[in-house]
Amino acid sequence: MGALIAYLNNNTINRHMSSHTVAHVSSVVPDNNFGITLPLRLELILKEDSSYGVYALLPKSQVGYTSSGWYELDSDGIFFVIGKHKRLKLEPKRNGVIEQLFVRQGAFDGHMKLVKLGEHSAALVGSKVALHMIY
């Protein structure tokens, strides 16, 4: 998976970004061919006071979370520090391993590298996630 944040042409941050993409999770064991592809929706709002909000959902599984905290820009990207994290209460929901990993505390925090892809899109790439974002 991945995450994205984008700069406008004047180096200010676009305040609202969204990603409607697919997450692919596969086994790291060479002899195991396990893999699953899940639709993913993520909304990211950056506020002028250096706080952020995230809404993330696996629509097929009806599992997701909201998260908020603080962010800091640097020359490579953005550093997210989680403040609050809450699992969405949706029914019916699946509670498999992948869903549990997706909604875990710390699912959206840490340093993410910023890669501008076009006039209205960018990629935010972290150690656990890489998302194509539209703004």
In a domain, 3, yes or no: no
Higher pLDDT among residues 12 and 49, named by residue: 49
Q: In terms of residue numbers, what domain contains 97?
A: 16-134
In a domain, 9, yes or no: no
pLDDT digits 0-9 by tens, 61-74: 888 899 999 999 88
In a domain, 100, yes or no: yes
In a domain, 4, yes or no: no
In a domain, 31, yes or no: yes
Do residues 15 and 45 touch, judged by C-beta distance below 8 A? yes
Q: How far is it, in rounded angstroms, from Cα 93 to Cα 108?
A: 21
In a domain, 27, yes or no: yes
Higher pLDDT among residues 119 and 33, named by residue: 119
pTM over 0.95: no
pLDDT digits 0-9 by tens, 72-93: 988 888 999 999 999 988 877 7
**CA distances (Å), origin 130, targets 84, 93, 95, 122, 125:** 21, 24, 23, 10, 4
pLDDT digits 0-9 by tens, 21-37: 877 677 677 777 777 77
Number of independent structural domains in the chain = 1
**Mean pLDDT score of the chain:** 80
